[in-house]
Amino acid sequence: MMLRSVPAPAQEQRPKRTFPEFVAAVYEDPRVGHETRELLLAIGYAVDLAKREDGVSPLKVARRKLGVDHGKARYDRLIADDAPRYKPPREAGDWYPSGAPSCEGPRLRPYRPRAYKPRAQAGLPEPTRLHKLPPTFVHVTPGYTPPRDWRTEDGVCGAQSHHRVLEKDPRTGWITARWFCKRHKDHADRVAEQVRAQNEQAPEPIPNTGGLLPCYFKADWEKVYRHYRPRWQPPKYGICADDWPSVDEMAARPSRHSRLRVLVGGVDLEDA
């Protein structure tokens, strides 16, 4: 995508929203992560600079401001990372780096904690008795509740898992991973059969990642995303995060923002 400034007479009227207001909107948007914030601010600064000064290429300015990472331009990677898509949870992947979650099947026998018994070894002297230590005080914030003991209160197995069952939400298409140990293989098969029809009828997942550049700038973003992420396909819900349908699991979305328009072959700023 080529971005270049245009002569002043070809530019339209000044935008109603100033550049400081655009910066404030980016910082107040809870969906924007720190790296995406850098990308938005760099492009906004470059577009605003190109509007005020002739002969400035917003693309070159943004790439220069974002620098390089491991010998590659961060601009390219950040654009690719903003491609709208559904990103499943880590535990739903084929490779779970920190070990599979604990088995959530029902506990086979009640949990009874056992007191520690020191091993008796012949020839060792009796341990020296120490004075009784004072009770331990733990300072917590008001309203703190101790974590649940899943072994006694929840009644789940908690053993190391070996079988995974994926369940798709019938409203959003989002994936939830269910994990079971070897002893609960039959339970895993039953759950897999139970969610089979639901998974087949589940809709395409609503995107939960990316789609923020179209919220603030106007451009042919589908073409841009395809260039920096060749295997990417646009979701049916649209490429703009503001247009995605709301669901109960999502937090309340902020109000729609006015957008800075980026013209291919010219640069301009205006309200959407």
Q: CA 70, CA 73: separation in Å to the nearest integer?
A: 8
Per-residue pLDDT tens digits for 90-145: 888 766 656 678 888 888 776 666 666 666 666 666 667 677 777 777 777 787 77
Residue with the bigger pLDDT between 230 and 266: it is 230
d(CA 61, CA 56): 8
Q: How far apart are CA 174 and CA 101, in angstroms?
A: 18
- Which one has a higher pLDDT value, 74 or 113? 74
Q: Which two tokens stand for residue 244?
A: 């995605």
Q: Which pLDDT value is given to residue 257?
A: 53
Q: Is residue 209 helix, strand or coil?
A: strand
Per-residue confidence band for 260, with pLDDT thresholds at 50, 70 and 90: low
Highest mean pLDDT: which of 4-18, 79-93, 120-134, 148-162? 79-93
Sheet holding 266-267, edge to edge: 217-218, 260-263, 266-267
Domain boundaries, the chain: 8-86+207-267, 88-107+150-205
| Bridge partners for 263 per DSSP | 266
**Which residue spans within the chain are E strands per DSSP?**
68-69, 72-73, 163-168, 175-180, 217-218, 260-263, 266-267
Q: What is the pLDDT of residues 180-219, one digit of tens each?
A: 989 999 999 999 999 999 999 999 999 999 999 999 998 8
Q: Which residues of 246-269 are buried (b: 16+ CB within 10 A; e: fewer)?
A: eeeeeeeeeeebbbbbbbeeebbb
Q: Are 13 and 268 spatial neighbours (Cβ–Cβ below 8 Å)? A: no
Residue 41: is its pLDDT beyond 90?
yes
Q: What is the pLDDT of residue 266?
A: 45
Of residues 189 and 270, more confidence is placed in: 189
Question: What was the pLDDT predicted at 116?
Answer: 64
Instruction: Say which residue, 165 or 256, is predicted with more confidence.
Output: 165
The percent of residues in the chain predicted with pLDDT above 90, rounded, is 43
Average pLDDT over residues 2-27: 59
CA distance 52 to 58: 12
Q: Is the pLDDT of residue 14 over 80?
A: no
Q: What pLDDT, on a 0 to 100 scale, did the predictor assign at position 162?
A: 87
pLDDT of residue 151: 57
